[in-house]
């Protein structure tokens, strides 16, 4: 989810791999994924720091530390977006 959100906002892949060889590209992406929390490039300035934080939360490698959908819906910018589309946010 984090990679998808990042790409939607930045209009480019979070971790481009350009070798043309699927095995090499997958290994490169997996290695980069391990470092993503420290190395995620900033989103364009039109996006808030809260959205950047929400995406970074989605990119936490340890699944036990990554927030679920319910927690993400309580991030202020995500909650605002959800309200725009009348998405019911659980308590």
E-strand ranges in the chain read none
Neighbour tally for 52: CB within 10 Å: 18
SS (H, E, C) 35-70: CHHHHCCCCCCCCCHHHHHHHHHHCCCCCCCCCCHH
pLDDT confidence of residue 22 = 60
**pTM greater than the 0.75 cutoff:** no
Question: pLDDT truncated to tens, each residue of the chain (91 aa)?
Answer: 887 888 888 888 776 656 566 666 666 666 666 555 456 777 889 988 888 888 888 888 778 888 888 888 888 878 888 889 888 878 8
Nearest Cα residue to 90 out of 78, 76, 75, 73: 73
């Amino acid at each position: 989810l984090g990679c998808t959100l990042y790409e939607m906002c930045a209009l480019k892949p979070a971790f481009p791999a350009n070798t043309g060889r699927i095995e090499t590209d997958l290994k490169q992406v997996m290695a980069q994924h391990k470092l993503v929390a420290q190395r995620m490039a900033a989103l364009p300035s039109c996006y808030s720091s809260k959205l950047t934080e929400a995406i970074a939360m989605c990119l936490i490698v340890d699944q036990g530390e990554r927030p679920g959908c319910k927690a993400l819906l309580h991030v202020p910018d995500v909650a605002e977006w959800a309200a725009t589309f009348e998405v019911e946010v659980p308590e």
